[in-house]
Amino acid sequence: MRFSQAWIVASKDFSMFTKKRNILYTIVILPLLITGLLSGVTWYIQHKGSGSVSPAELTTLLPAFTFFYFILAAIIPTTIASYSIVGEKVEKSMEPLLATPTTDGEILFGKGLAAFVPAILAVLGTSALFMGLCDAFTVEKLGYYYFPNESSAVVLFLMVPLGVVVSVEWNVLVSSRVSDVRIAQQLGSLMVLPFAGIYVGGEIGLVPLGNTNDLLMIAAVLVFIFLLMLYAVQAIFQREAILTRWK
């Protein structure tokens, strides 16, 4: 595989994304809104609430808030990855790309990069802002800076990248089988459900979101899903079939 060819594909998609407002809103506005909401709730319960929130309750609440960025890892690539394939079909730019000497693997890797890089930067950038604000709001009650810590590092630097990759692969699978951007995004958004399910499991006590060992187990499952979906993507994404089916 030639990385230079894959990067050409990714660069082309980067330039296309900057012209699409819905993609920019997903990458920039949504993570900032989530960060503002979570930080605002943290500030409110510290300054405007009943004052009965204990340090133990805070250390249970903050890991759950951090987990929202894992859910964002599934949401953000949906718009990007689905549009990078189906959107090109609609704009009649996919067929010339598939007709080039670039291999299927290079095309897939390039489009994966184009979805992975903005998503991971958006999630990690806004999560850093969230942690800084939360530390400022909670240090007086806790007596120390809660972030960064071991569990948040596992979520942000292991689970989030894996979540982004799995979401990208799912959206590539969906986009390779449909020819409408809205349908691709609707089907692609289904990937959010298992991510949200893990969060709900944490809220009802099935999965302690602040327990590093449990988080590592979830990451191991994500690695297995990643490998399984990687095989499926390589099997389904065939340029000859796309060129004939999308006429």
Predicted pLDDT at 93? 64
Query: pTM here?
Result: 0.85
What's the pLDDT tens digit per position in 62-110? 888 998 999 998 888 888 877 777 766 666 666 666 666 677 778 778 8
pLDDT at 9 > cutoff 90 = no
CA–CA gap between residue 243 and residue 224 (Å, rounded): 31
Considering only residues 161 and 8, tell me which one the structure prediction assigns the higher pLDDT: 161
CA–CA gap between residue 147 and residue 151 (Å, rounded): 10
Q: Which of 52-61, 121-130, 225-234 has the highest mean pLDDT?
A: 121-130
What's the pLDDT tens digit per position in 188-223? 888 888 888 888 877 777 777 777 888 898 899 999
Predicted pLDDT at 232? 84
CA–CA gap between residue 82 and residue 94 (Å, rounded): 13
Kindly tell me the burial class for residue 124, based on how many C-beta atoms sit within 10 Å of its own C-beta (0-12, 13-18, 19 or more): middle
The domain of 116 spans 3-245
User: How confident is residue 224, by pLDDT bands cut at 50, 70 and 90?
Assistant: very high
Predicted pLDDT at 103? 77
User: How confident is residue 244, by pLDDT bands cut at 50, 70 and 90?
Assistant: low
Q: Domain tally for the chain?
A: 1
Considering only residues 35 and 205, tell me which one the structure prediction assigns the higher pLDDT: 35
Predicted pLDDT at 113? 87
What's the pLDDT tens digit per position in 131-179? 999 999 888 888 899 999 998 999 999 999 999 999 888 888 887 777 7
Predicted pLDDT at 19? 76
pLDDT at 50 > cutoff 70 = no
Calculate the CA dihedral of residues 241, 242, 243, 247 and round it to 10 degrees. Answer: 110
Any idea which residue has 């958006």 for tokens?
122
Mean pLDDT (whole number) for 16-44:
87
Q: Count of alpha carbons within 13 Å of 18, Cβ hemisphere only?
A: 5
pLDDT at 246 > cutoff 60 = no
**Residue 132 one-letter amino acid:** G
Kindly tell me the burial class for residue 24, based on how many C-beta atoms sit within 10 Å of its own C-beta (0-12, 13-18, 19 or more): middle
Q: Which residues of 139-163 are buried (b: 16+ CB within 10 A; e: fewer)?
A: eeeeeeebbebebbebbbebbbbbb
